[in-house]
Amino acid sequence: MSSECCLDESEGVAGMERLFKPRGVAVIGASSNPAKIGYRIIENMQNAGYTGEIYPVNPKGGEVFGIPIIPSLEDATGPVDVAVLAIPAKFIFPAVESCAKAGVGHLVIITSGFSEVGNTAEEARIVEYARQHGMRVLGPNIFGVYSASCGLDATFGPGGILPGHVAIITQSGALGIAMIGKTATESLGLSALISVGNKSDIDEADLLEYLATDDATKVIMLYIEGVKKGERLAKTLAKVTRKKHVVVIKSGRSKRGAMAAASHTGSLAGADEVFDSIMRQSGVLRAESVQEAFDWVRYLADVSLPAGREAVIVTNGGGIGVLATDACEKYGVSLYDDQAVLYEAFADVMPAFGSSKNPVDLTGQATAEDYASALRAVLEEDRMNAALALYCETALFDTDRFATLLREIYQEYSGRKPIVFSLFGGERIEAMIRDLRKEGIPVFGDVYQAVSALGALYRSTTTMKREPKKLSEIEIDVEAIEEILENAGQEDRNFLLAHEAARVAEILGLRMPRSILARNLDEAVKAAEDIGYPVVMKVVSKDIVHKSDAGGVALDLVNRDEVIDAYQAILRSCHVYKPDALIEGIEVVEMVRAGVETIIGARQDASFGPTVMFGLGGIYVEVMKDVSFRAAPVTRTVAEAMIAEIRSYPLLLGVRGESRKDTSGVAEVVERLGHLIDRCRRITDIEINPLVVYDVGDGVKAVDVRILFENPRGVN
C-alpha cells in the first residue's frame, strides 16, 4: 500500500482513529534483548492483548515473544497503521521513508535526541516529510501510546494498565511512566494514555478532539509543561469540556514572561496567571498536585452528574462536620438548607442529642444501621442533590458491618446521585479505605480531599450545562486602525503617539476627554478656553515616551495664566530632559473629574494569543496585582465576570454609602478591547490606564490610551 499523497492540514478526528484503533502496529527496533526498549514495547503489547497484528522489525531477524521479526517493513503481510520507532536518532529519517512506502498512518517516535537537545532541524525535516507523505507524528522523545479500545499498550512503561474511562495526555515522560504505576495502585482504569513529548506535530489539541468523540473516555487528564499553540488549545478545550471532564496539572509557575513584558498588562500577565485564567475560562479543572488530579479524575470517571448544587453532610462527629462545612465553602459546594425538610427527613433516625441541621450530626452514639438509614434518607430525597458521608471511628462501631452497608448504598445509589465518603480513624479504618477504594468507591481519608472532589464535579457540571453565549457583533473599522499603525510605522516606531492612540480609541467607540493639539502658545490658550477649565497639558513628542519623567505633564490648570506658565515650563523641562527631542506640540486636554480608576489592557500573549485584562487602578494594580484575565474576544457575560472576580469588586458596587459604579460601561470597554486585539493582530499591547468609572448611568472615560504594535520595519 503506497501513500505518496500530501496530508490535508485538518485531517482531524477521523485520522486519529488509526492511531487509537490500528489494524497493525510495526515496532521498528524490535529486539529479543530484554534490556532494549524495542523488547519491552512488544512485551507490553502482547500482555495487554492487542487485537491487531504486531510486526516486529529489525534487519537482524529472529523472533520475539514467539512472533517472527521481519527484516523490513516491506515484509509486513497486512496494513500497518502505526509504526513505533525505537532506534537511534540518526536512523529515524530513513526509517520514516520506509514507513511512507508502507502506507503507515502514524509514527510514534520514542527516540530522544531531537529538539529537546537543540536538534530542531532534524525534527522539522522528519515532520515535514511525514506530513507530505500522509503521516502524522507523535513525539519524538516519548514513552509511547496506550489505547484500551484495542488492547494496545505500545509503551515501554511497567505494563498492567487497567482499561477504564480516564484518558491521560502527558508531556512529561518520567511522570507519565510513574502515573502508570500509580493508576494500578489506585485501581484507576484508563481509556488511553498518550505521551506527547516534543509535540513536533500531534499536540494536546489534536488528541483532545479525538478523545471528545471517544465513548469510553469520561475524563481527560492533562499534564502540561509548556504551551505551544495556546490559542488553538484554549478553543479546543472550551469545546471538549462541554462533553468530558478535563483536569489539568501544569508545572512551572514562572514569572519570566512577566519580566520581559513592556506594559502593565504585560507585567501582570505572568505566564501562570494567564494560564490559570484561560483554563478556568475553558471549563478545565486545574489541580494543585498530581494527587489532587488523581482524586478528581478517579471520582469523575464513575460519578453521575448532579441534578442541582445542594449537598447534605451526614456525620457521626460534630467537629468533622464543621471541617466539612468549611471545605464546602472553599470548594463551592452549597449545603441544603430547608430546616423543615431536613427535620422531617431525619426524624426517625436522629438520636436524642443529634442535630438534623446540615451537617446532619448523628453523634457518636449512632449505630451503623442508624448511619445507613440517614444516608438513605438523603439519597431518596430529590431536593437533596448529593451526599457527603463523614465518619469518625468510635469504639462502639462495627466496622465490617459498616463497610458492607456503605458498599450496598453505593451500589444502589451511585448511578443516581453523587456520593463521597470520608472516613477518619486508626488502622481498621485505613484498611477499610484501601479496600473500598480498590472497589472504585470514592472514599477519602481527609474531608478536604472528599469535598474537593465533589467541588470539582460541581464546577465541571456547571461547564457542561452552561448555555453557550454568543459574541456580540461589534463593528470596528479595522482598516482605519491599520492605516494609523501603518503611518506610525513609517516613522520607525512601535508605539502610537497620544493623538494617534486617541483616534484609535475614537474608532473603537470609547469616550475620551476632549483634547486639542496646540502648536504654539496662542493655540494652547484658545484650546483651554474652548474646552473649559480646568485642563491638563501634555507634551506630544515621539522622542519622549515617559512624559511625566520629562516634566511634560501639567495637571489641574484653572485659568489662562496657569496655561501660559505650564506651556513654557513643559517646553523648558523637556528640552533639559532630551535636548534633541522633536516636539510636535502640546496637547490640551479636559481635566477629568474624579471617579473610580480602573485599568483595562489587552495584548498578544506569547502562548495564548489575544488576551484581555481588567483591574482597579492605583495601588490595587501596583501592589495587590488584583486583576483578571481572559482569552479574547470575550462575551459581555465573561467581561462582567472578569469585573466581578477581582477582590476589590465591592469598591465598584459602592461602599460606605457611595453609589454603585457603572460596571456595564466597563464591561463594554473590556468587550471592545477584546474584539480589537483579536481582529487587529498587529497591535501587541493596548492599555487604558486609567479608565475612570462614574456612578451607574454616568458611564466611563478613558483618560490615557497607550498602544504598542508590531512594526515590520523591525523596531522593538
Binding mask 195-224 for ligand COA (x = CB under 6 A): x-----------------------------
Which residue, chain included where needed, has cell 444501621? 369
Task: Give min distance, CB of 76 to ligand COA, in A.
Answer: 13
Task: Give min distance, CB of 635 to ligand COA, in A.
Answer: 40
Sequence-ordered list of residues with C-beta below 8 angstroms from that of 353, at least 6 positions apart, any chain:
363, 365
User: Of 333, 237, 334, 229, nearest to 285 (Cα)?
Assistant: 237
554: enclosing H helix or E strand: strand 553-557
Closest to ligand COA by CB, 77 or 548: 77
Rounded alpha-carbon distances, angstroms, from residue 378 to 79, 424, 603: 55, 21, 49
Binding mask 343-372 for ligand COA (x = CB under 6 A): ------------------------------
Give the C-alpha separation, 382 to 385, whole Å. 7
Nine-digit cell string for 635: 462575551
Which of these ranges, 84-92, 185-193, 583-591, 687-695, lies near ligand COA under the rule CB under 6 A? 84-92
Task: Give min distance, CB of 61 to ligand COA, in A.
Answer: 9
Give the distance, in angstroms, between the CA of residue 623 and the centroid of all CA atoms in the same chain.
25
Task: Give min distance, CB of 31 to ligand COA, in A.
Answer: 3
- 51, 64 Cβ separation under 8 angstroms: no
Task: Give min distance, CB of 113 to ligand COA, in A.
Answer: 6
Which of these ranges, 82-90, 121-129, 213-221, 660-668, lies near ligand COA under the rule CB under 6 A? 82-90
Sequence-ordered list of residues with C-beta below 8 angstroms from that of 152, at least 6 positions apart, any chain:
20, 22, 25, 45, 48, 50, 52, 145, 146
Closest to ligand COA by CB, 181 or 445: 181
Task: Give min distance, CB of 15 to ligand COA, in A.
Answer: 24
Nine-digit cell string for 431: 484498611
Task: Give min distance, CB of 157 to ligand COA, in A.
Answer: 10
Nine-digit cell string for 549: 519623567
Task: Give min distance, CB of 693 to ligand COA, in A.
Answer: 51
- 549, 570 Cβ separation under 8 angstroms: no
Task: Give min distance, CB of 172 to ligand COA, in A.
Answer: 8
Q: What are the backbone dihedrals phi and psi of residue 143, each rounded to the nearest 5 degrees, phi first?
A: -100, 0
Give the C-alpha separation, 502 to 486, whole Å. 16
Task: Give min distance, CB of 44 to ligand COA, in A.
Answer: 14
Give the relative orientation of helices 230-240 and 204-212 as an angle to the nearest 10 degrees: 10
Interactions with ligand COA, residue window 104-143 (CB under 6 A):
110-113, 141-143
- 366, 316 Cβ separation under 8 angstroms: yes
- Binding of residue 73 to ligand COA (CB under 6 A): no
- Binding of residue 190 to ligand COA (CB under 6 A): no
- Binding of residue 86 to ligand COA (CB under 6 A): yes
Task: Give min distance, CB of 89 to ligand COA, in A.
Answer: 6
643: enclosing H helix or E strand: helix 636-645
- Binding of residue 91 to ligand COA (CB under 6 A): yes
144 pairs with which residues across the strands?
A: 155
Q: Which of 95, 161, 570, 634 touches ligand COA (CB under 6 A)?
A: 95
Which of these ranges, 81-89, 313-321, 668-676, 700-708, lies near ligand COA under the rule CB under 6 A? 81-89
For the chain, the maximum distance between any two Cα atoms, rounded to a whole number of angstroms, is 100
Closest to ligand COA by CB, 91 or 353: 91
- Residue number of the CB atom closest to ligand COA: 173
Closest to ligand COA by CB, 198 or 684: 198
- 80, 108 Cβ separation under 8 angstroms: no
Binding mask 261-280 for ligand COA (x = CB under 6 A): --------------------
Q: Which of 70, 80, 83, 87 touches ligand COA (CB under 6 A)?
A: 87
Closest to ligand COA by CB, 180 or 524: 180
Closest to ligand COA by CB, 36 or 526: 36
20: enclosing H helix or E strand: helix 12-20
With H, G, I as helix, E, B as strand and everything else as coil, classify residue 142.
coil
Question: How many of the chain's residues bind ligand COA (CB under 6 A)?
Answer: 25
Closest to ligand COA by CB, 110 or 553: 110
Task: Give min distance, CB of 52 to ligand COA, in A.
Answer: 20
Interactions with ligand COA, residue window 4-63 (CB under 6 A):
28-29, 31, 33, 36-38, 57-60
Report which residue type is found at 520.
N
Q: Which of 61, 68, 88, 319 touches ligand COA (CB under 6 A)?
A: 88
Which of these ranges, 86-94, 220-228, 522-530, 536-544, lies near ligand COA under the rule CB under 6 A? 86-94
Give the C-alpha separation, 373 to 406, whole Å. 11
Which residue, chain included where needed, has cell 515532520? 127
Closest to ligand COA by CB, 109 or 420: 109
Give the C-alpha separation, 18 to 27, whole Å. 16
Closest to ligand COA by CB, 31 or 373: 31
Closest to ligand COA by CB, 31 or 241: 31
Task: Give min distance, CB of 290 to ligand COA, in A.
Answer: 16
Give the C-alpha separation, 187 to 173, whole Å. 21
Give the C-alpha separation, 662 to 642, whole Å. 14
Give the C-alpha separation, 111 to 41, whole Å. 13
Give the C-alpha separation, 434 to 439, whole Å. 9
Task: Give min distance, CB of 143 to ligand COA, in A.
Answer: 4
- Binding of residue 93 to ligand COA (CB under 6 A): no
Interactions with ligand COA, residue window 284-313 (CB under 6 A):
none
Nearest-5° angle of CA 157, CA 159, CA 161? 110
User: Of 450, 448, 454, 461, nearest to 418 (Cα)?
Assistant: 454
Which of these ranges, 83-91, 264-272, 546-554, 571-579, lies near ligand COA under the rule CB under 6 A? 83-91
Binding mask 141-180 for ligand COA (x = CB under 6 A): xxx-----------------------------x-------
Closest to ligand COA by CB, 37 or 392: 37
- 55, 25 Cβ separation under 8 angstroms: yes
Which residue, chain included where needed, has cell 491638563? 536
- 246, 463 Cβ separation under 8 angstroms: no
Closest to ligand COA by CB, 34 or 468: 34
With H, G, I as helix, E, B as strand and everything else as coil, classify residue 417.
coil
How many other C-beta atoms can be found within 10 angstroms of the C-beta atom of residue 237?
24
Give the C-alpha separation, 606 to 319, whole Å. 48
Closest to ligand COA by CB, 225 or 477: 225
Task: Give min distance, CB of 180 to ligand COA, in A.
Answer: 12
Task: Give min distance, CB of 552 to ligand COA, in A.
Answer: 57
85: enclosing H helix or E strand: strand 82-85
Task: Give min distance, CB of 80 to ligand COA, in A.
Answer: 14
User: Of 387, 425, 381, 427, nearest to 406 (Cα)?
Assistant: 387
Q: Given the rule CB under 6 A, which residues bind ligand COA?
A: 28-29, 31, 33, 36-38, 57-60, 86-88, 91, 95, 110-113, 141-143, 173, 195
